[in-house]
A = this chain, B = another copy of it.
Amino acid sequence: MEQKSKLMFASDYQEGAHPSIIKRLSDTNLMATPGYGSDAICASAKERIRRACACPDAMVELLIGGTQTNATVIDALLRSYQGVISADSGHVNVHEAGAIEFGGHKVLALPGKFGKLRAPQIRQYLEDFCNDGNNEHMVMPGMVYISQPTEFGTLYSRKELAAIHAVCREYKIPLYIDGARLAYALASPDNDVSLKDLAVLSDVFYIGGTKCGALFGEAVVVPDPRLIPHFFTIIKQHGALLAKGRLLGIQFDELFRDDLYLDIGKTAVRYAQDIQEALRKAGYELLFDSPTNQVFFIIENSRIPALESEVECSFMEKYDENRTILRLCTSWASSGEAVRRLCGILTRR
């Protein structure tokens, strides 16, 4: 029972789902519906998402997990000879076991700043590619992938996003936004990018469920559905089609009832601020001031075992010979008491 006694702040997918989801799953359990998302609950969920994004014509498809969604969408957007531009820290570049390359596509990694790409950097890359006399021998950049919030929990401002979107327009390639933790962006006081903005400033984005209150599920939004013909078949081909599609419908129907999705990340973000405050007070150096639910701090290697005896956290990377970057993660399910205990442990040191 060691797991129970330790504080669990290693990730934001440690618990089940928002209680309303569990209730609805239970209530609808023996209802018979047609499969593969062709049921009424899915229709309702998709309609709620369209409304929340203010794009009434959008195609919305509900997939199961993040890696699967990225691989499927990217494969749908690219021609076989094209690659996807990503920050070097992008989930598609590092932590998807080569799912993008499995689909035949190169990830064209550019150096990110705490997970973020900048518009001029992308423009420069595209311009250099176009000017390179050998570019017919190279992988053609066919789209841009960014994440909001990024893998570091940082945020693109609306202005930054608009600038990246403008570069994509200029070079006629789609912009795709990975919103695995989107609820924590939407809940951040520092955020000025709404769901409606995403629908205008990107070509495809997904609204993360797995880390944001669902058992699993990611809702892909394609504001202009003509962009991806036969998306259903592509999803099936990628093994990403859930037979009992209504399970996804139920979850997103609940998450988008009464704006739950807009609220669900709020405590997590506040708790992350509390944790950052405690870390600062305790003299830890933060990697940067995080606006969302992930906190990165630098710790001397010698102090890690003691901390880890009480708290599950994530190893990020070596900072230098003697120090390490650790990550603490809150979620919609984090309890105030656990956060207070964590802060106590941190400041006690």
Give the residue of B40, B138, B241, B315 whose beta carbon is less than 8 angstroms from that of A3.
B40
Question: Which positions in A face B, CB cutoff 8 Å?
Answer: 3, 8, 10-11, 13-17, 19, 22, 25-26, 28-35, 40, 64-69, 71-72, 75-76, 79-81, 83, 94-99, 101-107, 133-134, 136-140, 210-211, 215-216, 230, 232-234, 236-244, 247, 312, 315, 333
Nearest B residue to A69 via CB reads B239
Please determine whether B16 and A28 come into contact, CB atoms closer than 8 angstroms.
Answer: yes
Please determine whether B68 and A134 come into contact, CB atoms closer than 8 angstroms.
Answer: no
Given the known interface contacts A35-B11, A215-B244, the answer about A139 and B97 at a Cβ–Cβ threshold of 8 Å is: yes
Given the known interface contacts A16-B28, A19-B29, A233-B81, the answer about A210 and B71 at a Cβ–Cβ threshold of 8 Å is: no
Chain A interface main SS type:
loop
Q: Which residues of B contact A94 (CB under 8 A)?
A: 138
Give the residue of B72, B133, B239, B244 whose beta carbon is less than 8 angstroms from that of A216.
B244
How far is the CB of A80 from the nearest CB of chain B, in Å?
Answer: 6
CA distance A14 to B29 in the complex (A): 10
Give the residue of B3, B16, B64, B98 whose beta carbon is less than 8 angstroms from that of A81.
B98
Given the known interface contacts A64-B64, A136-B233, A243-B65, the answer about A14 and B34 at a Cβ–Cβ threshold of 8 Å is: yes
Given the known interface contacts A22-B26, A33-B3, A230-B81, the answer about A99 and B239 at a Cβ–Cβ threshold of 8 Å is: yes
CA distance A247 to B247 in the complex (A): 13
23 A-B pairs with CB atoms under 8 Å apart are A10-B34, A13-B244, A14-B32, A14-B35, A15-B29, A22-B26, A25-B215, A65-B241, A69-B239, A80-B104, A95-B137, A97-B139, A98-B139, A99-B237, A101-B104, A101-B106, A102-B237, A102-B238, A136-B233, A137-B233, A216-B247, A238-B239, A239-B239
Number of copies: 4
CA distance A133 to B137 in the complex (A): 37
Please determine whether A243 and B210 come into contact, CB atoms closer than 8 angstroms.
Answer: yes
Interface pairs A-B: 5 shortest CB-CB: A68-B239, A16-B29, A97-B236, A14-B32, A97-B237
Nearest B residue to A35 via CB reads B13
CA distance A11 to B137 in the complex (A): 15
Please determine whether A99 and B236 come into contact, CB atoms closer than 8 angstroms.
Answer: yes
Please determine whether A98 and B83 come into contact, CB atoms closer than 8 angstroms.
Answer: yes
Please determine whether B16 and A30 come into contact, CB atoms closer than 8 angstroms.
Answer: yes
Please determine whether B10 and A31 come into contact, CB atoms closer than 8 angstroms.
Answer: no
Q: Which residues of B contact A99 (CB under 8 A)?
A: 236-239
CA distance A239 to B106 in the complex (A): 16
How far is the CB of A164 from the nearest CB of chain B, in Å?
Answer: 23
Please determine whether B244 and A210 come into contact, CB atoms closer than 8 angstroms.
Answer: yes
Nearest B residue to A316 via CB reads B134
Please determine whether A233 and B97 come into contact, CB atoms closer than 8 angstroms.
Answer: yes
Q: Which residues of B contact A103 (CB under 8 A)?
A: 80, 102
Please determine whether A83 and B66 come into contact, CB atoms closer than 8 angstroms.
Answer: no
